[in-house]
Structure 1
Amino acid sequence: MTLPINGTRDDLIWLAGLTEGEATFDAHRGRYPRIRVQMTDRDTVERVAHLLGTSVRLSLRQAPSSPTWNAELSGDRAADIMAALLPFMGSRRSQRIAEILAAPAYHKGHDRKTLPGPPITSIAA
């Protein structure tokens, strides 16, 4: 099985655990699936960037805030990684990823007929 990340299945599971609590999943410009991670731990963000195949960016804020490190990926590769992460994510993140991947704006020009990953059901309150 070919993975959409620069790593192993264990790396994918690690990435799922980290992104469950530390990532933002959204649609850049309302259309392109995007994964963003921002933390003060440079080594962790560097590992995420390596797995995503992207670079690390530094954001400086006025004191007393700490500098933050960012890794971001958007487009088809981000969509492929989101689909691979989906089985390992909790219900709230799974729902968000499913919404992004199912959005009509993203499907323009794509031949995806179905949503990847397990079916999503609502959780009774």
Structure 2
Amino acid sequence: MDNRTFLIAGIFVAVLIAVVAVFLASSDPDGLESTALIIQGDKTLTGDTPQGAQVNEDVPDRFVYEAPMKDYSLGGRLGSTGGIIAMVLGVLLSLGLVLGATKILARPNR
């Protein structure tokens, strides 16, 4: 198998996983979001997430960041279709960044 075929197969598998992940993902916060809820005092380390608990992002004198595709969606306008589009765009954007970085780093020293 040549590199081009391997790359195309890898992109296909990544997109397939992204599409399936939209339907299998849990709505229960995990990772950084769960940790933020613990720090806020809205959740205990070993307890379940209370219904409706949200991360308080409006803290004075703190850095605030709005994600372009928050919760892997396009603002709730398209439902699961928006989630699929957001995931596929994320995969392609990540691929583009990695390929761009490898092109820059693989240049011979002049």
TM-score normalised by L of structure 2: 0.26
Which one has a bigger Cα radius of gyration?
Answer: 2
- Greater strand fraction, Structure 1 or Structure 2: 1
- Greater helix fraction, Structure 1 or Structure 2: 2
